[in-house]
Amino acid sequence: MTFFSSLFTILFISRFLENSLLNAEVKEGEILPPTIQKLMKGYNKYLRPFFDNGPVTVGMSLDIASIDTISEINMDYTATIFLRQRWTDERLLFEGNKSLSLDGRLVELLWVPDTFIVDSKKSFLHDITVENRLIRIFPNGTVLYALRITTTVACNMDLTKYPMDKQTCTLQLESWGYNVNDVMFYWARGNESVSGLDTLRLAQYTVEDHYTSASEAVYETGNYPKLIFHFELKRSILYFILETYVPSSLLVVLSWVSFWISQSSVPARICIGVTTVLTMTTLMMGARTSLPNANCFIKAIDVYLGICFSFIFGALIEYAVAHFCTLHHPDCNNALMYGHHHHHMHDCEEEMNGMLTTISDSSRLKRRKDTAADPPKASDGEPEPVPSGPETPAEPVSRCAKSITLLRKILRSVNCCHVKNPHYIDNYSRLTFPLSFIIVNLLYWTYYLYF
């Protein structure tokens, strides 16, 4: 009895579920209008149109609603787009001259292309207040299917000319499961198939150019249709000029103020030098916060900040050199401070000349001794025989003469590199530093803007 009771219970439950499903189908049929009921009769959404008669052609068009963010750190962009797809389904022909606009939730009853965005990192379909879908059927069987999607797409960027760079990003559409023998994609209106970029306003970029192309994606499983939308972005440099280039240039000019301060004002000149170096270091660190930490690119902004840092550090080193030379010329330094420039400079020059004269006289004396040490010669040019006796030590004298000659050359070279007036270093720097900075700027901007 237990076995028959269990079997009866199972049969009763199955009959009840079958009747419930039939009632649901009847209710659904009651909701659909007669035209839709006629179209859906015998319709199989799991089979594509023209299943045995060649591929189905799908026309695409895009409307770019917004490009929210363009990230150099993640190398991607986030955009909200309206994706529209059109195809013809011969099973949806009906009489009349008006199209049928259906609720987006009825898309579950129809076959739709399995289109996906190739380089998408994450995407979602907007569903407030309902899922943002549109289905429209025309009398000739053409189906219009529209979606509102927000997607984050990868974009490989070359940042070597940052912030004077141009980036070309793409939006690629492919079929996931249907190859070129089943589905063919095409742009509905060529380059005019994508709209919305002309009125788009971005924070740091301007859209310079955009165009469309069609190709095939080759995978191990076959060839699949692909549509590509290319758009070129040019970065607006005005923000970076005001934020980075102008402050760094002004810091370089500020470091030149020390050239007009007296060398005796050590605290003032050291303060200017160290302050500008530290400020420039902070500016360089702040300029890299919006860029990838592990980035192999040497960017244009890094080159310029490095140039400015070199000039600022060079101004600090210039004072160190000038002050060092001043310490080695105390008389000349005092003379400059008290106004007796010519007299004491003349004394310094005489002292140097006297040193060279003494060394020169010593060298001549050594040469005379060397000449006297040479043996006398006979009238026929042959040396006369030297009487036997103790030999003269000629080799040590020759070495001494060579050492004196080498010392003279060293002193001459030191004298050539010798700064007669350390205050001239500041005078030269007042001209060479600004002139060099202007030349480097001309080369920098010419290269990065035109090459």
Query: Which domains are present in the chain?
Result: 34-235 (2.70.170.10), 239-329 (1.20.58.390)
Distances (CA, A) of 392 to 273, 376, 405: 63, 14, 22
Distances (CA, A) of 381 to 142, 151, 186, 373, 386: 123, 104, 107, 17, 15
pLDDT at 405: 81
∠ Cα 33 39 40 (to 5°)? 90
pLDDT at 111: 94
pLDDT at 13: 58
Q: Which residues of 15-35 are buried (b: 16+ CB within 10 A; e: fewer)?
A: eeeeeeeeeeeeeeeeeeeee
DSSP letter assigned to residue 301 = H
pLDDT at 96: 83
pLDDT at 237: 93
Bridge pairing between strands 115-117 and 120-125: unpaired
* Contact assessment for residue 412 and residue 363, using Cβ atoms and an 8 Å cutoff: no
What is the sign of the dihedral through the CA atoms of 93, 94, 99 and 105? negative
| Selection from 433, 418, 423, 420 nearest residue 264 by Cα | 423
Residues of the chain with pLDDT under 70: 1-32, 290, 292-296, 328-397, 411-420
pLDDT at 295: 57
* Contact assessment for residue 60 and residue 85, using Cβ atoms and an 8 Å cutoff: yes
Reduce the DSSP state of residue 383 to 3 states and report it.
Answer: strand
pLDDT at 348: 43
Amino acid letter for position 287:
A
Amino acid letter for position 33:
P
Q: What is the DSSP string of 430-443?
A: HHHHHHHHHHHHHH
Q: Give residue-wise pLDDT tens across range 305-357.
A: 999 999 999 999 999 998 888 876 655 445 444 444 444 444 544 444 444 44
